[in-house]
């Protein structure tokens, strides 16, 4: 699936409203005014039903020095987590070689490993909040990335909480403590530094604060409104390009101010109250309305937010991509927003430059081998291997003799 957005036009673009389903993916090509970027849509089905859709094949293309690539690793809810849709996670790759992960929800590691990235570059994760569908695969990432090429400490960024026990630092330290047996047992075989996890907690109340600045990249944070104090949103700026990740939030004044005019803006779009009630088989419309519209953002709210922000591409996520629910979302959004829109599905890939936005879907087999590791990973310092007690070692069966250990 391919969508290109170009700033270079003076002609009036009039495209028919067309909902495109590829699997359960929805994209709308729509009428735009002359001041809005062109949208060229390669539709999933043309009149002859023979359109060939380009795909993204991981590790087959070099990212240009002035280009940003964004991959949806997970776009769904806490449940159900299916083969088609994992919980929230996004990867942002920059032409300068930097890679950033925004949230790492349950199941998202399956999609990340399928892409076979260079894990030596994946040492920065930014958490929007501490619901499991936004950081539930952090344990898998800590160990899996260490096994697969990361030889430096993993840095986790996130907001404080109303009390210290509800902040990012407490959550990360508790998780590392839970992984103590796992980490100790691998240290020595794997590079020592790769087993370390460093939390970077900042005050969630600070508006538009710089939480990361290095190598020409600036990431700012501001408060979000979701469940408890501590949720945040982010804006990444690099080389004249901007990426915004809202996390989970109801519409709020900070997002309207600090996400404005960004190139690529991700904001949650929950099902309508009616769609949520039907999907979860809830009798209470009060509960469905509260969840959809008071701690999340319903479709009409999403549309109003994007009409105020005016991004080059608005991206809706955090929903269930079933046709009836998605159709209700789309109708709700289009009541209040007529700009460029994608309802995201897992493994959508966008390449963003100052002139164009190109969208495809990543393709890889169900079974993949681990990615190649770097020479630096192979040579990174390793301490002595962990030892088991004499009691356990006395239990070794004499009926099998392992091969001798090679000399290094």
180-206 pLDDT, tens per residue?
999 999 999 999 999 999 999 999 999
Angle formed at CA 58 by CA 53 and CA 64, multiple of 5 degrees:
90
**pTM (two decimals):** 0.87
For residue 41, is pLDDT > 50? no
User: What distance, in Å, lies between the first and last C-alpha atoms of the chain?
Assistant: 49
Number of neighbouring beta carbons within 10 Å of residue 22: 15
Closest CA relative to residue 100, chosen from 123, 119, 118, 117: 123
Do 104 and 138 touch, CB atoms closer than 8 A?
yes
pLDDT for 20 equals 33
> Which of 47-51, 116-120, 206-210 shows the lowest mean pLDDT across its residues?
47-51
Indicate the burial class of 47 (C-beta count within 10 angstroms; 0-12, 13-18, 19 or more). exposed
For residue 324, is pLDDT > 90? no
Sorting pLDDT into bands at 50, 70 and 90, what band is 45? very low
Edge-to-edge strands, sheet with 124-126: 38-42, 2-6, 356-361, 348-352, 68-74, 89-94, 99-104, 124-126, 154-159, 197-202
Run of H or E including 159: strand 154-159
**Which class does domain 2-366 fall in?**
alpha beta
Radius of gyration of the chain (CA): 23
| pLDDT tens column, 360-387 | 999 999 999 999 999 999 999 999 888 9
Q: How, if at all, do strands 99-104 and 89-94 pair?
A: antiparallel
| pLDDT tens column, 224-257 | 999 999 999 999 999 999 999 999 999 999 999 9
For residue 307, is pLDDT > 60? yes
Sorting pLDDT into bands at 50, 70 and 90, what band is 96? very high
| pLDDT tens column, 382-403 | 998 889 999 999 999 999 999 9
> Which of 28-37, 150-159, 228-237 shows the lowest mean pLDDT across its residues?
28-37
Would you list the domain boundaries of the chain? 2-366
pLDDT > 90 in the chain, percent: 73
For residue 159, is pLDDT > 90? yes
| pLDDT tens column, 338-352 | 999 999 999 999 999
């Amino acid at each position: 699936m391919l969508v290109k957005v170009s700033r270079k036009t003076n002609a009036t673009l009039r495209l028919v409203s067309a909902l495109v389903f590829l699997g359960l993916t929805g994209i709308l090509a729509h009428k735009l005014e002359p001041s809005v970027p062109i949208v060229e849509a390669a539709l999933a089905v043309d009149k002859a039903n023979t359109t060939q859709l380009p795909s993204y094949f991981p590790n087959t293309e070099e990212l240009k020095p002035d280009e940003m690539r964004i991959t949806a690793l997970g776009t769904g809810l806490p449940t159900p987590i299916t083969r088609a849709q994992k919980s929230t996670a996004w990867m942002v790759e920059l032409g300068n070689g930097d890679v950033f992960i925004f949230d790492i929800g349950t199941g998202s590691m399956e999609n990340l490993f399928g892409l076979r990235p260079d894990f030596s570059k994946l040492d920065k994760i930014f958490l929007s909040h501490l619901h499991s569908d936004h950081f539930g695969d952090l344990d898998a990432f800590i160990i899996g990335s260490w096994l697969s090429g990361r030889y430096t400490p993993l840095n986790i960024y996130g907001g404080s909480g109303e009390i210290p026990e509800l902040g990012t630092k407490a959550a990360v330290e508790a998780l590392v403590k839970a992984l103590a047996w796992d980490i100790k047992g691998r240290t020595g075989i794997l590079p020592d530094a790769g087993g370390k996890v460093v939390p970077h907690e900042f005050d969630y109340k600070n508006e538009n604060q710089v939480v990361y600045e290095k190598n020409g990249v600036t990431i700012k944070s501001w408060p979000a409104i979701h469940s408890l104090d501590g949720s945040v949103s982010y804006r990444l700026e690099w080389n004249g390009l901007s990426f915004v990740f809202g996390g989970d939030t109801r519409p709020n004044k900070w997002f309207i101010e600090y996400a404005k005019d960004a190139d690529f803006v991700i904001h949650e779009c929950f099902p309508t109250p009616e769609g949520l009630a039907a999907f979860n088989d809830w009798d209470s419309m009060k509960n469905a309305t509260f969840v959809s519209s008071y701690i999340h953002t319903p479709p009409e709210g999403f549309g109003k937010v994007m009409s105020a922000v005016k991004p080059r591409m608005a991206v809706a996520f955090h929903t269930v991509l079933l046709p009836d629910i998605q159709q209700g979302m789309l109708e709700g959004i289009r009541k209040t927003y007529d700009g460029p829109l994608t309802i995201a599905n897992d493994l959508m890939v966008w390449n963003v430059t100052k002139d164009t936005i190109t969208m495809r879907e990543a393709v890889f087999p169900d079974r993949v081998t681990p990615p190649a590791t770097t020479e630096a990973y192979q040579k990174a310092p390793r301490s002595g291997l962990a030892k088991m007690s004499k009691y356990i070692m006395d239990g070794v069966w004499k009926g099998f003799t392992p091969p001798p250990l090679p000399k290094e």
